[in-house]
Amino acid sequence: MRRRYVVGNWKMNKTPYEAQLFVEELFSVEGGLPEDVELGIAPPYPALDRVGATVGPSLVHLLAQDVYQEVSGPHTGEVSAEMLKACGVTQVIVGHSERRRYRNEHEIDLTRKIERLAEAYITPLYCVGETLGEREAGTTERALSKQMSALEAFPEAAPRGLVLAYEPVWAIGTGRSATPAMAADVHRALREMVRSFWGKEAAEKIRILYGGSVTPENAAALFEEEDIDGALVGGASLKVASFLAIARAARRTVPD
Ligand code: PEP
């Protein structure tokens, strides 16, 4: 059975100090962290080192929100996979719609980012999702398949530990989540694409998270869908209480 996974994408929020306070609060919650759910947090770059020292080797993964596609060199303002690794980062978000949209990132760049991560033994969390226009035009699957083509550069096997996140662009930060049925349909289609790339075992194993206005109120209904293996959470991950409520809703065992 795939282990559920809940990741908080903090985007451009929290100073290193605020990030550390969050982690300290998270680790001291009454009742502890849910044991059968993996957690991840993706602070902004300046907070990574400090958070990395606090999470240490625990079940809370440290993610970065992006990585640069080159190994090193004259790339002012960019951060390499090896630098992230040195901060304790084990996974990196690649292809978030905000970067595709505002930083003009295309599949060709995203493939190269995933290659750099693979070289550094870092797991990619690859995001895909259609715009409202694409959904309304009935071209959701075509849009996703174009985005998934960034993974065609890995014909032998999926990049180590690869996690996918389905994040419909129209649901991100809008308070308008996809319905569980809508999300589950897309997750099944993505799993089928994974099967066609790397076979049945890879498709059964891969975790596909849903992202887009997940809150403590709607999380349980989303997690009732077998094909939804967790969540990538933006706004609701900024407070320990709401992040944890979502993580608890992700438990496969019946909560007490
Ligand atoms: C995100 O940006 O990855 C996201 C899912 O944001 P939100 O939960 O705020 O919609």
pLDDT tens, position by position, for the chain (256 residues)? 899 999 999 999 999 999 999 999 999 999 889 989 999 999 999 999 999 998 876 779 999 999 999 999 999 999 999 999 999 999 999 999 999 999 999 999 999 999 999 999 999 999 999 999 999 999 999 999 999 999 999 999 999 999 999 999 999 999 999 999 999 999 999 999 999 999 999 999 999 999 999 999 999 999 999 999 999 999 999 999 999 999 999 998 654 4
Ligand 1 centroid to 122 CA: how many Å? 22
The amino acid present at 212, given as its one-letter code, is G
Domain layout of the chain by residue ranges: 4-249
Residue 232: CB within 6 Å of ligand 1?
A: yes
Q: CA 236 to CA 232: how far, in whole Å?
A: 10
Residue 233: CB within 6 Å of ligand 1?
A: yes
The residue contributing the CA closest to ligand 1 atom 6 is 234
The pTM of the full predicted model, rounded to 2 decimals, is 0.96
Q: In the structure, how many helices (H) and strands (E) does the chain have?
A: 11, 8
Distances (CA, A) of 123 to 101, 126, 158, 162, 248: 23, 9, 10, 6, 24
Residue 214: CB within 6 Å of ligand 1?
A: yes
Question: Which CATH superfamily is 4-249 part of?
Answer: Aldolase class I (3.20.20.70)
